[in-house]
């Protein structure tokens, strides 16, 4: 039964204890693996340095009575390596995303901000010089173009009212 643990690379060692607590069998992936604890540990999960120790009952299926205890010592080095790889991939994706966003933000900001800034400069010039004949230059047919048309129409109406008052 313990030799089947060769198929589970995260299991570093395993031990089986008899019902009376005496060691019955053992499995070690490497010769340097830990020796079995002299006293059967309590059931449950226990951290042993960088390993996780699981201690659980072995039961007879017919009588459903405890006939022994199994201890499995799991090594998480493969999982830690996988987490490091995931962290590196996530970090790389974040860096590439930041660089792409930063390189796109400059040109997009000029495309979006330039017409608005031109419109603001035109409005400031009109308010300083009181010259309602000045018109904002329409750049495109998007929302800013519609806004520029509305602004110019408002200037035409103000210019006509100003002329009518004179």
User: For 72-95, how does the pLDDT look when each residue is reduced to its tens digit (9 = 90+)?
Assistant: 988 887 788 889 999 999 999 999
Report, in this order, helix, strand and coil percent for the chain, each rounded to 5: 50, 25, 30
pLDDT digits 0-9 by tens, 14-64? 888 888 888 888 888 876 566 777 677 888 998 877 788 899 998 888 888
Give residue 92's pLDDT.
Answer: 97
Q: Which residue has the tokens 């039964």?
A: 1
To which residue do tokens 């690379």 refer? 9
Helix, strand or coil, per DSSP, at residue 157: helix
Q: How far apart are CA 31 and CA 44, in angstroms?
A: 26
Helix (H/G/I), strand (E/B), else coil: 38: coil
- Cα–chain center distance at 100: 18
- In this prediction, residue 142 carries a pLDDT of 86
pTM: 0.49
Return the closest-CA partner of residue 124 out of 136, 115, 114, 139. 136
Residue 102, pLDDT above cutoff 60: yes
Q: Given pLDDT bands bounded at 50, 70 and 90, which one contains residue 133?
A: confident
Residue range 138-164: mean pLDDT, rounded? 89
Contact 123, 151 (CB under 8 A): yes
Closest listed residue to residue 29, CA positions, set 11, 50, 15: 11
Query: Residue-wise over 116-155: b if at least 16 C-beta within 10 A, else e?
Result: eebbeebeeebeeeeebeeebebeeeeebeeebeebbeeb
């Amino acid at each position: 039964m313990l030799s089947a643990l060769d198929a589970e690379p995260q299991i570093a060692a395993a031990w089986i204890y008899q019902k009376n607590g005496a060691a019955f069998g053992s499995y070690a992936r490497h010769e340097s693996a830990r020796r079995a604890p002299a006293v059967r540990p309590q059931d449950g999960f226990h951290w042993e340095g960088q390993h996780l120790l699981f201690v659980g009952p072995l039961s007879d299926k017919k009588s459903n009575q405890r006939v022994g205890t199994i201890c499995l010592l799991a090594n998480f080095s493969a999982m830690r390596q996988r987490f490091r790889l995931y962290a590196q991939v996530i970090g790389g994706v974040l860096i590439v995303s930041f660089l792409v966003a930063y390189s796109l933000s400059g040109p997009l900001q000029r495309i979006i901000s330039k017409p608005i800034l031109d419109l603001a400069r035109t409005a400031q010039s009109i308010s300083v010089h009181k010259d309602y004949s000045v018109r904002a230059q329409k750049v495109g047919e998007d929302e800013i173009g519609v806004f520029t048309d509305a602004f110019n129409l408002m200037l035409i109406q103000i210019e006509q009212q100003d002329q009518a008052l004179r």
